[in-house]
């Protein structure tokens, strides 16, 4: 899904995305093991970011808190960009993943403060991004090197890219264009 696609410019978060999903996976019946926060975090590690599927929603740093109370699970997520349509998809993906594990009592809370920062990307996430051909964010505001040939001769093409979280860069050595995960 392309975040820059303005055809969904309607303000509701939920409306456009429901139909993107195939039917919900069937629950295997109520979860019967010992439910705790660590298990839920582990499950969330398997929920891919809908736009950059090589990293998980946990790697992306949007999952801020998991609390378990008996069989009830509460997950707090923080949006990356205020208008990013992927956030609604992320909520639904988390819901589907946990439902498939037998969790029926789930609430997902959105929290905007403190605002999301690329510092919350995990180390694992950063290296996976690079292997996928997306240069990870750097505090200097630009990629240190080309994710393909590792050359440091790189130039900015555009401050924005195919999703709100990325910018367009190009390598002057291997000439490949590549995406850079914006640092905010």
Partner 1 sequence: MNHLFEFLLRQGDNALVLGHRMSEWCGHGPALEEDIALANTALDLIGQTRLWLELAGDVEGKGRDADALAYLRDAYDFRNLLLLEVPNKDFGHSILRQFLFDAFQVPWLTELSQSDDERVAQIAAKSHKEALYHLDRSAETVIALGDGTQQSNQRMQIALDYLWPYSGEAFADDETDVAMQEQGIAPLPSDIKEIWHDRVNAVLEKAQLQQPASDFAHKGGRNGACHTEHLGHMLATMQILQRSYPDAVW
Binding site for Zn ion (CB under 5 A): 146, 148-149, 151, 171, 173-174
CB of 7 to partner 1, least distance (A): 8
The CA distances from residue 31 to 27, 71, 97, 104, in Å, are 9, 8, 13, 9
Tell me whether residue 82 is exposed, middle or buried, using C-beta atoms within 10 angstroms of its C-beta: 0 to 12, 13 to 18, 19 or more: exposed
Contact in structure between 61 and 44 (CB atoms under 8 Å): no
Nearer to partner 1 (CB atom), residue 128 or residue 182:
182
Q: For partner 1, which residue of 22, 53, 112, 123 counts as binding (CB under 8 A)?
A: 112
Alpha carbons 21 and 23: distance in angstroms, whole number: 6
Question: What is the side-by-side strand order in the sheet with 63-69?
Answer: 63-69, 72-77, 105-110
Residue 149 site contact among partner 1, Zn ion, none (CB < 5 to 8 Å, cut-off depends on kind): Zn ion
| Site for partner 1, residues 132 to 151, rule: CB under 8 A | none
Q: For partner 1, which residue of 4, 46, 107, 172 counts as binding (CB under 8 A)?
A: 4
CB of 173 to Zn ion, least distance (A): 5
Peptide bond into 64 cis (omega under 30): no
- Assess 61 for contact with partner 1 (CB under 8 A): no
Q: For partner 1, which residue of 36, 46, 83, 172 counts as binding (CB under 8 A)?
A: 83
Q: Contact region for partner 1 (CB under 8 A) — 3-11, 32-40, 99-107, 121-129? A: 3-11
The CA distances from residue 70 to 34, 37, 38, in Å, are 9, 11, 14
Residues that bind partner 1 (CB under 8 A): 3-6, 9-13, 15-16, 18-19, 79, 81-85, 112-115, 157-162, 164, 168, 182, 184
């Amino acid at each position: 899904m392309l975040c820059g696609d303005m055809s969904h410019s309607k303000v509701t978060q939920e409306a456009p995305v429901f139909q993107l999903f195939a039917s919900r996976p069937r629950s295997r019946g109520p979860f019967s093991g010992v439910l705790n926060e660590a298990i839920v975090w582990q499950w969330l590690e398997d929920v891919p970011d809908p736009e950059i599927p090589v990293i998980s929603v946990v790697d992306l740093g949007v999952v801020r808190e998991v609390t378990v109370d008996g069989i009830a699970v509460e997950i707090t997520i923080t949006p990356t960009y205020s208008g990013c349509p992927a956030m609604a998809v992320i909520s639904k993906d988390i819901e589907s993943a946990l439902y498939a594990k037998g969790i029926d009592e789930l609430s997902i809370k959105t929290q905007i403060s403190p605002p999301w920062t690329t510092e919350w990307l995990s180390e694992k996430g950063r290296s996976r991004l690079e292997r996928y051909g997306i240069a990870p964010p750097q505090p200097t505001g630009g990629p240190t090197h080309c994710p393909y040939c590792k050359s440091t001769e790189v130039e900015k093409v555009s401050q924005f890219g195919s999703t709100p979280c990325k910018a367009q860069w190009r390598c002057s050595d291997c000439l490949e264009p590549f995406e850079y995960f914006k640092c905010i």
